[in-house]
Amino acid sequence: MSSGTTPTTVSTHILDTTIGRPAQGVTVELAVREKREKGDGPWEPAGTSTTDADGRCKDFPPLPPGTTQARLLFAVEPYLSLSREPSHEPSGEPSGEPSHEQARGMAFFPEVAIAFAVTPGEHYHVPLLLNPFGYSVYRGS
């Protein structure tokens, strides 16, 4: 990166929408690639971070010059697979359906990969809204 240029940067955070709280302790990998004459280049690792108590990763390195796409890979399975007790009907029998409390104990999606285009000199904040059976992302600020 030459002096005088603004680096291209990426940050993220995860909100567990099942419990309405940040998701702490999730490993997130940042990878980058550039457009080449004959298509996109391979994904190259650029950094790894773990969400803090506020669910945020703010310590990824700036993207290398020439990067045209970035990808965040969220390893959500360990977070979502926290053990929970089976739910029971009022009769005491197992219900077969997860309760709200135990829904966080399931990991339908073991990982979430989000790829996006980047422009040199911009900052990209890409939040992940997560629950055991779905997720949503957007470009934040």
Contacts of 9 (CB under 8 A, 6+ apart): 60, 62, 63, 123, 124
Residue 122, pLDDT > 60, answer yes
pLDDT in tens, 27-38: 999 999 988 877
| Alpha-carbon span 32 to 44, nearest angstrom | 5
- Determine how β-strand 128-131 pairs with β-strand 134-137: antiparallel
Q: Taking residues 32-52, what's their average pLDDT?
A: 91
Tell me the average pLDDT of the chain.
85
Q: Show me where the domains of the chain are located.
A: 9-130
pLDDT in tens, 88-106: 455 555 545 555 455 555 6
From the options 3.40.630.30, 2.60.40.180, 3.30.70.270, 3.50.50.60, give the CATH code of 9-130.
2.60.40.180
Contact 70, 15 (CB under 8 A): no
